[in-house]
Amino acid sequence: MVSILTILMMQLCLQLISKSSQLNVRDNIRMHVVEARIQSILKDKTVYVDSDNQRLYYSAGNDSQGESDIKSFERTDQYLRQKDEHGGFEPVLNNVKRFNILKKSKSVQLTIVDSSNRVTEMFISDITFAEKKGDLVR
């Protein structure tokens, strides 16, 4: 009788462990996809980091009127979004509790804390920095 209970308990534990590892894998894959997307967006772009407001600005080329189009990554409410100067935005990641940008020599460290208090650090490398936001104009 005791051995049957032991076997059932072990089986339930294994099912629980299996389920929790699947959840972590899904979240890890999501963060890798977001990091790859941010890396591809910022590739060969000049970036300005506003440390006070925790925003990362970059020049996205020229808009339909031929003017320089400057976009940014910022955290609002519960998500990280990509925003342009004309008011349009695109959510990048939801359930974001905190978002921190740290400028390093030729890279940017993005630290994201989600609603589960899980901390993710992303390092975006090979970045060219502008001294001020006005330098992003082509």
Which residues are CB-contacts of 80 (< 8 A; sequence separation ≥ 6)?
A: 73, 74, 91, 92, 93, 96, 99, 112
Summarize pLDDT for 18-67 with one digit per residue, the tens.
666 555 677 778 888 888 899 888 888 888 898 888 889 988 776 566 56
Q: Report which residue type is found at 52.
A: D
Summarize pLDDT for 94-134 with one digit per residue, the tens.
889 999 999 888 888 999 998 888 888 998 888 888 888 87
The pLDDT score that the predictor gives to residue 62 is 64
- C-alpha Rg value of the chain to the nearest Å: 21
pTM above 0.85, yes or no: no
Q: Report which residue type is found at 72.
A: S
- Asked if residues 72 and 57 have their Cβ atoms less than 8 Å apart, the reply is yes
The pLDDT score that the predictor gives to residue 64 is 61
